Amino acid sequence: MRTPEYYRKHSPVRVFLSYFKPHRRLFALDMFCALLVSVVDLAFPMISREAMNTYLPEGAFRAFFTVMGIFAIAYLLRAVLYFIICYWGHTFGIRVEADIRKDLFRHLQSLGYDFYDRNRTGQLMSRLTTDLFEVTELAHHGPEDLIISVLTIIGAMIVMFSIEWRLALVVCVILPILLVVVILRRRKMSAVSKNVKAKTAAINADIESSLSGIRTAKAFANEAVEFAKFHAANERFKTSKREFHKEMGYFTGSLEFFMTLLSVGVITVGGALIMRGEMEMVDLLTFSLYISTFTSPVRKLVNFAEMFANGFAGLGRFVELMGMEPKLQDAENAETLDNVRGEIVVKDVSFAYDEESEVLNSVSLHVTPGETIAIVGPSGGGKSTLCRLIPRFYDVSAGSISIDGKDIRQVTQESLHHAIGVVQQDVFLFADTIGNNIRYGKPDATMEEIIAAAKRAEIYEDIMAMPEGFDTYVGERGTLLSGGQKQRVSIARIFLKNPPILILDEATSALDSVTEEKIQGALDALAVGRTTLIIAHRLSTIRSASRIISVAEGVICEEGTHEELLRHNGMYAGLWRTQNLKKS
């Protein structure tokens, strides 16, 4: 797999062409067919001229019609060649796109939480879909159109000079002006296209956000508000390509003027030469055929210019994203975290999501293997942040965290994540079946293991009550399940994963009291012999913890057993009294 440094060091064109290599046979077939098409297009006017000059004056009608019949067959072959170009050329383009998308998705997986904190899903989707589609069009049609156009133009110019050099000079005068217009306008179009893609990605992100929040909009009867947002985004979409289309208008208008001027110039000069007896009518007719042959590739170059502008802008955004280094990377000699006992040492750890607001300040904590630590405190105090640093979802700003004596920055992230199971308060389920969502904890699990995990998570009976059982579709983000069911599916994943270290971030927050009591027993059983960190809002669920620590304003305020902290009469005691008053 290529590193981000590769994408930073090499030009977008070189990166782009490197994706052709695995499919070079298809590419060669596409280019060979394009070459044959150019040969047929160039041969017809030249041989037609010879036939009209030779066979018709001599009355060799059979030979004349034989030549025309051969060309009819040649044009049938040309149609077959275009079928190959269209079918296999698009197949080549799709394969290139699939390879690019595969590398992009793998790279997105390597980027850390901080990247996704800053970037919206809709914008990333735009890069994975719209941008890459236009790159595919460039991969397929770009080289094909370019080779047909360039060969046809060069070949036509050679033949036109052989017929009448003075007429060919008319083309040579207008052609450079035409090329200058193409080059200048293409540059302008490319710059504008890049801006359009950025705007379109932002619009897609707004629409994706509105669709994701449509249930919340209905709950608040705010459909009109969301429609107004959508309308604004839709209006921006209508105007987002205006500048690009304006540049295309300038480009096309200029091109059409010079193309028609080319025909007018050739007919004018050719007519003058015929009047002076210096040129035959057949030669002017042949020349006009070559002008038509010449015009078609020029128009292909126009399409290529637009395609190049769009595709190269998408390619530039792809290369830019691929060149981003993940902030969290394995050390060069990173070890695999094996046979984990579960000792966790947090030493003088400080952390800030940005430079201005520090979330943790010189926090130290020692967790012995198999110990259950409960973490309590007010919202925003740093509880969840501390638990996100242990699996190294973020890197500490200062200090260190080690597991079994190994600094987590010196072990592979994959082995670290295998060793730690996390159940978060905000449960995410994939748009798949219940069975496959549970299997996510252990991709090679058998059905018997999945059933056992479901039973331990107290979700088995609910699943069996559903018409399709474990094959029940859970909907987008699990919307077809209740909050408690989603939470228990996520807990079943952890039972299946069976990690030596557990982090339960408000794991029972979405459960009713009866279900919570059932699941708490299962969680207690799972915690036996494992190191467990529990972030809890309901203090009644953590009385059996080995230790309880209170975290507020980024520091550990107190720690001890339930009874010790009640006697201490500090933050924990205050939280305990508040919750008991609410119950009474």
- Identify the residue with better confidence: 459 or 213: 459
6: left (phi over 0), alpha (psi -120 to 50) or beta: alpha
Mean pLDDT is lowest, of 238-247, 419-428, 507-516, 568-577, for 507-516
Longest CA–CA span in the chain (Å) reads 122
- Coil/strand/helix, residue 348: strand
Q: Which two tokens stand for residue 4?
A: 């981000």
Strands 406-407 and 398-403: antiparallel
At residue 161, the pLDDT reads: 84
Per-residue pLDDT tens over the stretch 95-128? 888 888 888 888 888 887 778 777 777 677 777 7
- Alpha-carbon gap, residue 492 to 251, rounded angstroms: 61
% of residues, the chain, pLDDT over 90: 5
At residue 402, the pLDDT reads: 92
Strands 372-376 and 398-403: unpaired
**Would you say residue 546 has pLDDT above 90?**
no
Give the rounded distance of the alpha carbon of 584 from its chain centre: 52
Q: Provide the residue ranges of all domains of the chain, joining segments of one domain with +.
A: 12-322, 344-583
Per-residue pLDDT tens over the stretch 282-320? 777 777 777 777 677 777 776 777 677 777 777 888 888
Average pLDDT for residues 347-368, to the nearest whole number? 86
- Alpha-carbon gap, residue 497 to 445, rounded angstroms: 9
**Would you say residue 469 has pLDDT above 80?**
yes
**What does each C-alpha distance from 51 to 63, 247, 284, 286 come to in angstroms?**
8, 45, 15, 11
Confidence of residue 401 (pLDDT cuts 50, 70, 90): very high
The CATH T-level fold of domain 344-583 is Rossmann fold (3.40.50)
Which class for 324: exposed (0-12), middle (13-18), buried (19 or more C-beta within 10 A)? middle
Helices 281-322, 121-128: axis angle to 10 degrees equals 140
- Alpha-carbon gap, residue 246 to 200, rounded angstroms: 17
- Identify the residue with better confidence: 424 or 340: 340
Cβ atoms 501, 419 nearer than 8 A:
yes
| Burial per residue of 417-430, b for 16 or more beta-carbon CB atoms within 10 angstroms, e otherwise | ebbbbbbbeebebe
**What does each C-alpha distance from 517 to 455, 511, 522, 538 come to in angstroms?**
15, 9, 9, 12
**Would you say residue 345 has pLDDT above 90?**
yes
Residue with tokens 């992100």: 205
Mean pLDDT is lowest, of 43-57, 356-370, 409-423, for 43-57
Q: Would you say domain 12-322 falls under CATH 1.10.150.450?
A: no
pTM above 0.75, yes or no: no
**Would you say residue 140 has pLDDT above 80?**
no
In this chain, the answer to whether the domains covering 12-322 and 344-583 adopt an identical fold is no
Mean pLDDT of the chain: 81
Enumerate the H helices of 440-559 as residue ranges. 447-456, 460-464, 483-497, 513-527
At residue 113, the pLDDT reads: 76
